[in-house]
Structure 1
Amino acid sequence: MTAAQPAAESMPKVASAHDKILIVDFGSQVTQLIARRVREEGVYSEIVPFQKAEAAFREMKPKAVILSGGPESVHEAGSPRAPQSIFDSGVPVLGICYGQMTMAAQLGGEVEGGHAREFGRADLEVKAPSNLFDSIWSIGEKHPVWMSHGDRITKMPPGFVVAGVSANAPFAVIQDEKRKYYGLMFHPEVVHTPDGAKLIRNFVRKVAGLTGDWTMRAFREEAIEKIRAQVGKGRVICGLSGGVDSAVAAVLIHEAIGDQLTCVFVDHGLLRLDEARTVVDLFRHHYNIPLVHVDASKQFLGELAGVTDPEVKRKTIGRLFIDVFDAEAKKIAEKGQGSADFLAQGTLYPDVIESVSFTGGPSVTIKSHHNVGGLPARMKMKLVEPLRELFKDEVR
Structure 2
Amino acid sequence: MTQHDRLLIIDFGSQVTQLIARRLRELNVYCEIHPYNRVDEAFLQAFAPKAVIFSGGPASVYRENAPMPPAGVFDLGVPILGICYGQQVMMHCLGGLVEGGQGTAEFGRAFVTPTDLTHPFLAGWFPPEAGPQAQEQVWMSHGDHVSRIAPGFQVYGTSPNAPFAITADPARHFYAVQFHPEVHHTPKGAQLYANFVRLAGFRGDWTMGAYREEAIRKIRGQVGDAKVICGLSGGVDSSVAAVLIHEAIGDQLTCVFVDHGLLRQGEAEQVVTMFRDHYNMPLIHADESALFLGALEGVSDPEVKRKTIGRLFIDVFQKHATAVGGAKFLAQGTLYPD
Contact 1:126 1:138 in 2 (8 A): no
* Structure-to-structure mapping, 1:44-55, within 5 angstroms: 44-54=30-40, 55=42
Q: Is 1:293 paired with 2:291? A: no
* Structure-to-structure mapping, 1:223-372, within 5 angstroms: 223-304=215-296, 305-309=299-303, 316-333=308-325, 339-350=326-337, 352=338
SS state of the match for residue 263, structure 1? strand
Which structure is higher in helix share?
Answer: 2
Contact 2:87 2:177 in 1 (8 A): yes
Shift of 1:348: 2.6
Alignment deviations for residues 163-197 of structure 1 (CA, whole Å, 9 cap, x no partner): 00000111111101221111100011111111112
Contact 1:114 1:150 in 2 (8 A): yes
Shift of 1:77: 3.3
Alignment deviations for residues 63-110 of structure 1 (CA, whole Å, 9 cap, x no partner): 110011111112233322211111011110000011101101111112
Alignment deviations for residues 263-292 of structure 1 (CA, whole Å, 9 cap, x no partner): 111112121211111221222222111111
Q: What residue is the counterpart of 1:126 in the other structure?
A: 114
Shift of 1:318: 4.4
Shift of 1:229: 2.0
Shift of 1:316: 5.0
Which residue of 89, 92, 95 corresponds with 2:79?
92
AA of the residue aligned to 1:238 = C
Shift of 1:53: 1.4
Contact 2:256 2:321 in 1 (8 A): no
SS state of the match for residue 171, structure 1? strand
Shift of 1:346: 1.6
- Give structure 1 regions of 4+ aligned residues with deviation exceeding 6 angstroms: none
Q: Distance in 1 between matches of 2:200 and 2:21?
A: 15
SS state of the match for residue 173, structure 1? strand
SS state of the match for residue 289, structure 1? coil
Q: What residue is the counterpart of 1:377 in the other structure?
A: none
Q: Distance in 2 between matches of 1:22 and 1:16?
A: 18
**Could you list the runs of 5+ residues in structure 1 that have no partner in the other structure?**
1-14, 334-338, 353-396
Which residue of 92, 97, 102 corresponds with 1:115?
102
* Structure-to-structure mapping, 1:92-241, within 5 angstroms: 92-116=79-103, 117-127=105-115, 128-138=117-127, 140=132, 141-204=134-197, 206-241=198-233
Shift of 1:232: 1.9
Alignment deviations for residues 116-144 of structure 1 (CA, whole Å, 9 cap, x no partner): 21111111101131222112334641111
Q: Distance in 1 between matches of 2:100 and 2:112?
A: 21
Percent identical among aligned pairs is: 60
Q: Is 1:39 paired with 2:28? A: no
TM-score normalised by structure 1 residue count: 0.78
Q: What residue is the counterpart of 1:22 in the other structure?
A: 8
Q: Distance in 2 between matches of 1:218 and 1:260?
A: 24
Shift of 1:315: 5.7
Q: Distance in 2 between matches of 1:232 and 1:39?
A: 30
Q: Is 1:82 paired with 2:74? A: no
**Could you list the runs of 5+ residues in structure 2 that have no partner in the other structure?**
none
The farther-off stretch of 181-190 and 245-254 is 245-254
Q: What residue is the counterpart of 1:359 in the other structure?
A: none
AA of the residue aligned to 1:33 = L
TM-score normalised by structure 2 residue count: 0.91
Contact 1:237 1:325 in 2 (8 A): no
Shift of 1:112: 1.6
Structure of greater Rg: 2
Q: Distance in 1 between matches of 2:141 and 2:61?
A: 14
SS state of the match for residue 43, structure 2? helix
Shift of 1:226: 1.6
Question: What is the total number of aligned residue pairs between the two structures?
Answer: 329
Alignment deviations for residues 345-395 of structure 1 (CA, whole Å, 9 cap, x no partner): 222312x2xxxxxxxxxxxxxxxxxxxxxxxxxxxxxxxxxxxxxxxxxxx
What is the aligned-residue RMSD (CA, Å)? Answer: 1.9
Kindly tell me: are residues 213 and 317 of structure 1, through their superposed partners in 2, closer, same or farther at Cα, counting changes over 3 Å? farther
Q: Distance in 2 between matches of 1:129 and 1:315?
A: 58
Greater relative contact order: 1 or 2 (C-alpha under 8 angstroms, separation 6 or more)? 1
Contact 2:2 2:214 in 1 (8 A): no
